[in-house]
Amino acid sequence: MASLTPGPTVGASPSPAVGDPPSLTDIDAATSRIEGSVLRTPLVHSDTLSRATGAEIFLKLENLQPTGAFKERGAANRIALLTPAERACGVIAMSAGNHAQAVARHASLAGITATIVMPRFTPTTKIMRTRAWGAEVVLHGETLAEASDHAYALAAREGLVFIHPYNDPAIIAGQATVALEIIADQPDLDALIVPTGGGGFVAGCTIAAHARAPHMQVFGVEVETYAGFAQALAGQPIAVGGATIAEGIAVRDIGSLPLAILRAHHAEILVVPEAMVEQAIAMLVEDAKLVAEGAGAAGLAAILCFPERFKGKRVALPICGGNIDSRILANTLLRNLLRDGRLLRVLMEIPDRPGVLADIATRISAQGGNILEVVHQRLFASPTVQAATLEIMVEARDAAHGNAIATALEQVYTVKRM
């Protein structure tokens, strides 16, 4: 194989990882190296998403990996390259999610001790899943940056091998195996859209695609609040931060090595709004019957944002992770129903007299609506004791049906849509 120098090893400092970009030879070697410990996930055509978007959509189901995300690949490759001395030292990583579980799992499979530093805000489920793979979890700091600093300090003090999530050529080579599998299954694709956080995934896929399928264009995709690569490649200062459902690609410090790779390959980064990621999550659940986290749905969000760019094109989308909190998924689906008009939420001023609620329910029923929730406030919300305020949520078939229900109510009552 070509000379592939992994990133920081024993006692690493917080400086950027060193090493040359991986070559196609390195990526081919990574494919052989991780075989058996990482699932070769299926690439499936989605007829429903294709009809909905106008593009021919193929989904690479990395959410089926044992830890639910593509991070398995880079971790498996990096850990397999450890020297006997490094294995004896043990490994350390910083992550609040998928990288943590991937390093913990593959360290466990290799019989190596692993320490994972996570911010204190990390959800309990992610902490427990990481510990379940035998890793020691250290909770430190309020942010990922603080956790990262602490992880580097522990690596230096205890002589541990730091496994960087993206700024390491061995990690990048492992993630790039996704692109090789996609190309092997569908060699005539027009485009590959890769969710982009720290940049290791998109950088590796770019190298692999340009070497083995130069006709295929590779796009990165970021959310508006964390568009670090789009800003850097445009020569702008990086300014990121804020809440996002795509926390898997919400990275403050992008990788210097991935950035160099993307610059060399003249990569294009697409930036999508938060609402479009939520819509993509809902479409994957409803139309493709797949659960994806925010980062995993980002590729579909890019097609929804830029339909003309991909109309009639054959496009592969890595569903790079499926680790989404159940409550967040439920809220996302409900928000999308409201956005699509399939949930009608109205506030009504009604007279406080017998039979009014029955009349309202009858009018909704006559239009084919289904009442989901009612809040009837008689004492405090109305301007007079002779009136009441009613907040009601109704299930509708679509926006037009919701409008018909609202119109039926407006014939008698004062209705404010919410």
pLDDT at 16: 43
Count how many Cα atoms sit within 13 Å of the Cα of residue 104 in the half-sphere of its side chain: 27
Residue 417 reports pLDDT greater than 80? yes
Residues whose CB falls within 8 Å of the CB of residue 320, separated by 6 or more in sequence, listed in order: 62, 63, 69, 70, 194, 195, 201, 248, 295, 296
Domains, the chain, with CATH or none = 18-340 (3.40.50.1100), 342-417 (3.30.70.260)
Alpha helices in 235-306 (DSSP H): 256-264, 274-286, 298-305
Question: What is the structure's pLDDT at 378?
Answer: 63
Q: What is the pLDDT of residue 4?
A: 47
pLDDT band at 281 (very low <50, low <70, confident <90, very high): very high
207 in Cβ contact with 261 (< 8 Å): yes
| Residue in 312, 71, 65, 37 with CA at minimum distance from that of residue 195 | 71
**pLDDT tens per residue across span 98-146:** 999 999 999 999 999 999 999 888 878 788 999 999 999 999 998 778 8
Cα–Cα distances (Å) from 356 to 58, 409, 411, in that order, read 52, 12, 14
Comparing C-alpha atoms, which of 4, 58, 63 is closest to residue 28? Answer: 4
The answer to whether 108 touches 131, Cβ cutoff 8 Å, is no
Alpha-carbon gap, residue 117 to 95, rounded angstroms: 7
pLDDT band at 382 (very low <50, low <70, confident <90, very high): low
pLDDT in tens, 190-226: 999 999 999 999 999 999 999 999 999 999 999 999 9
